[in-house]
């Protein structure tokens, strides 16, 4: 290739990708080839802009500010808390009004979780009412702790009222 002869466009663009080569050196001095390269750069820029529009520079800051201002989905969480509270209350009521036998079975399950299961299982084999006497304390404690957890959750939810101006 002589200096006056323009390279093939394919060779020119291949060397443009690589970043160096005799065709590129020629294009730097040749107005025709540099015009072609400039046109190619513009087209490439337009293509990139079409395929991947740049986000505004302040996008992240804007999003973070909106996230900070946006109230959490309070209504839904409140309903979840209320339903959990209702379920635990009904469970407690159901425990209280169910018969001795059911209490004994539940007592076995709970008591084996909170204390030595083997000896309590032996107690159940000896007599259900004896187990209820043993397990009544753990059951009450568990129910009370469930209730307090629910109440605490509700209080925390209610503690952050939604900003009315945002609605």
The site map against Zn ion for 1-20 (x = CB under 5 A) is -----x--------------
Could you tell me how far CA 142 lies from the centroid of its own chain? 30
Q: Is 154 in the site for Zn ion (CB under 5 A)?
A: no
Q: Is 110 in the site for Zn ion (CB under 5 A)?
A: no
By the rule CB under 5 A, 23 interacts with Zn ion: no
> How far is 154 from 163, CA to CA, in rounded Å?
18
Using left for φ > 0, alpha for ψ between -120 and 50, and beta otherwise, residue 9 falls in alpha
CA-closest candidate to residue 26, choices 48, 10, 49, 2: 2
Q: Which of 12, 23, 24, 33 binds Zn ion (CB under 5 A)?
A: 33
Q: Pick the stretch among 32-40, 63-71, 120-128, 150-158 that binds Zn ion (CB under 5 A).
A: 32-40
Residue ranges binding Zn ion (CB under 5 A): 6, 30, 32-33
């Amino acid at each position: 290739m002589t200096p006056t002869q323009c390279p093939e466009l394919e060779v020119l663009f291949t060397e443009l990708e690589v970043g160096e080569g005799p065709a590129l050196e020629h294009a730097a001095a040749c107005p025709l080839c540099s015009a072609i390269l400039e046109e190619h750069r513009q087209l490439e820029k337009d293509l990139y802009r079409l395929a991947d529009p740049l986000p505004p520079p302040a996008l992240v800051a804007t999003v973070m500010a909106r996230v900070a201002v946006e109230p959490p989905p309070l209504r839904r969480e409140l309903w979840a808390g209320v339903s959990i509270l209702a379920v635990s209350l009904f469970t407690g009521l159901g425990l209280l009004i169910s018969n001795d036998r059911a209490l004994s079975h539940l007592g076995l399950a709970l008591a084996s979780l909170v204390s030595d299961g083997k000896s309590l299982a032996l107690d159940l084999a000896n007599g259900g009412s004896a187990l209820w006497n043993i397990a009544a304390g753990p059951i009450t404690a568990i129910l009370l702790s469930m209730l307090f957890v629910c109440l605490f959750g509700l209080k925390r939810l209610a503690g952050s009222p939604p900003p009315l101006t945002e609605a």
